[in-house]
């Protein structure tokens, strides 16, 4: 297994069937540990121009309530509409198109414009987890909704339009690509082994230990063996469970604590509010049991070496396969060694 540390190699992502090229010999280049000035203190608690802050007016005239914790509303500019209709087209399998129905919502995590998950209390994050569970259940129960995708885009670098802490929920008729790939892989594994792919994978990771960032009583956070982004992580429940709404109260709190701890470590890495796209993959809501599915979250952060030096997916990565220099093992070691208290709290 020594080649995993020293020689160029590729690793398979068993969830998607895709490969990542790893080039550990290139990280022997010295790392300058460049740091920007401590960032994250210049955002106001309330912004009169923010369309997510309490009491403010949104597009089309709606006014936000003075919400004390969380706030959910239908996206004013939704990518999907509930009543999209049209005849499916299929020209010799070469030009295929069909209408897609869906619902897009926004969930504000907090009335405070300046907070992030990393700076919210575990108790307040647990309220957000409760809203995720309720939204997954309510949207998933609607006729014709096959999947509920909860995701957060954090930071300018990820194209997030507003620093106010919030996420989105897109409920779709069809399974999106990533879900479809993961369903196919998890189903095939279930048929072959009679157990869940990610449950067995987590057991291997806990035996190995070197890619684990931290654990609490019910969740493990790790850098997956096949990670593409430099500090990519997965959040995995230790019990076999398909969706957030199946978690016990204690498990929901443990999930909130894991998200708090992970986002604090991310912010501490370069002492900057850490940009990322994150989201939960929960079992499809097509009415099937989906025993093969294991709930998990992916965090995909773009930063590589500092608050401003990011990874780009270009060149060989666009045309061939993704590639990384820093190994999953050394990324996990870096994250594991970071302080568990937020840098702004200790400033």
Contact between 50 and Zn ion per CB under 5 A: yes
The span of 46-54, 64-72, 117-125, 333-341 binding Zn ion (CB under 5 A) equals: 46-54
The span of 43-51, 97-105, 114-122, 284-292 binding Zn ion (CB under 5 A) equals 43-51
What the block records as the tokens of 189 is 């594994």
Strand order, beta sheet including 9-13: 9-13, 18-22, 323-324
**Neighbour-count burial of 305, counting CB atoms closer than 10 A to its CB (0-12 exposed, 13-18 middle, 19+ buried):** middle
Window 6-35: contact mask with Zn ion (x via CB under 5 A):
------------------------------
State in angstroms the smallest separation of the CB of 49 from Zn ion.
Answer: 9
- According to the binding rule CB under 5 A, does residue 166 interact with Zn ion? no
User: Mind giving me the DSSP string for 84-129?
Assistant: -----EEETTTEEE---BEEEEEEES-S-TT--GGGS-HHHHHHHH
Give the nearer residue to Zn ion in terms of CB position, either 64 or 323: 64
- State the catalytic residues: 166
Give how many residues touch Zn ion by CB under 5 A. Answer: 8
Using alpha carbons, list the distances in angstroms from residue 148 to 35, 43, 246.
Answer: 38, 31, 15
Nearer to Zn ion, 101 or 281 (CB): 281
52, 171, 235, 326: which one binds Zn ion (CB under 5 A): 52
Quick note: the x/- pattern for Zn ion over 256-285, rule CB under 5 A, is -------------------------x----
Tokens 């060694």 correspond to what residue? Answer: 337
Q: Which residue, 185 or 268, is less far from Zn ion as judged by CB?
A: 185
Stretch near Zn ion under the rule CB under 5 A, chosen from 65-73, 163-171, 258-266, 323-331: 163-171
Window of 29-37, 58-66, 90-98, 160-168 that interacts with Zn ion by CB under 5 A: 160-168
Tokens of 92: 């010799």
Q: Of these, 101, 105, 113, 154, which contacts Zn ion (CB under 5 A)?
A: 113
Q: By the 8 A CB rule, do 317 and 16 touch?
A: no
Nearer to Zn ion, 161 or 346 (CB): 161
DSSP string for residues in 18-74: EEEEE-GGGGGS------PSP-S----S--TT-SSSTT-B-GGG-B----SS-EEEE
List strand residue ranges (DSSP E) for 139-291, in order.
147-154, 166-172, 212-215, 219-222, 233-237, 276-281
Q: Should residue 180 be labelled a site residue for Zn ion when binding is judged by CB under 5 A?
A: no
Interface with Zn ion (CB under 5 A):
47, 50, 52-53, 113, 164, 182, 281
């Amino acid at each position: 297994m020594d080649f995993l540390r020293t020689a160029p190699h590729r690793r398979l992502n068993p969830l998607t069937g895709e490969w990542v090229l790893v080039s550990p010999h290139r990280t022997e280049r010295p790392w300058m540990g460049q740091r920007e000035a401590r960032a994250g203190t210049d955002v106001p608690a309330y912004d009169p121009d923010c369309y997510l802050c309490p009491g403010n007016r949104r597009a089309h005239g709606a006014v936000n309530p003075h919400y004390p914790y969380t706030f959910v509303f239908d996206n004013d500019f939704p990518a999907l509409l509930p009543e999209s209709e049209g005849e499916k087209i299929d020209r010799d399998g070469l030009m295929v198109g069909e209408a897609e129905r869906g619902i897009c919502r926004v969930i504000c995590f907090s009335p405070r414009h300046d907070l992030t998950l990393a700076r919210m209390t575990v108790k307040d994050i647990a309220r957000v987890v409760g809203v995720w569970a309720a939204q997954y259940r309510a949207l998933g129960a609607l006729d014709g909704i096959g999947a509920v995708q909860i995701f957060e885009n954090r930071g300018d670098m990820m194209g997030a339009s507003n620093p106010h802490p919030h996420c989105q929920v897109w409920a779709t008729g069809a399974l999106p690509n990533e879900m479809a790939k993961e369903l196919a892989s998890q189903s095939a594994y279930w048929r072959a082994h009679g157990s869940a792919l990610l449950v067995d994978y987590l057991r291997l990771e806990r035996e190995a230990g070197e890619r684990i960032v931290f654990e609490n009583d019910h969740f493990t956070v790790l850098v997956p063996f096949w990670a593409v982004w430099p500090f990519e992580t997965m959040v995995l429940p230790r019990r076999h469970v398909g969706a957030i709404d199946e978690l016990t109260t204690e498990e929901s709190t443990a999930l909130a604590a894991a998200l708090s701890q992970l986002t604090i470590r991310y912010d501490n890495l370069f002492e900057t509010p850490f940009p990322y796209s994150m989201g939960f993959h929960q079992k499809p809501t097509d009415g099937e049991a989906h025993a093969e599915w294991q709930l998990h979250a992916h965090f995909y952060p773009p930063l590589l070496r500092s608050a401003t030096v990011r990874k780009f997916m270009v060149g060989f990565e666009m045309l061939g396969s993704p590639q990384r220099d820093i190994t999953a093992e050394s990324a996990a070691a870096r994250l594991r060694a970071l302080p568990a208290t937020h840098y702004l709290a200790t400033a």
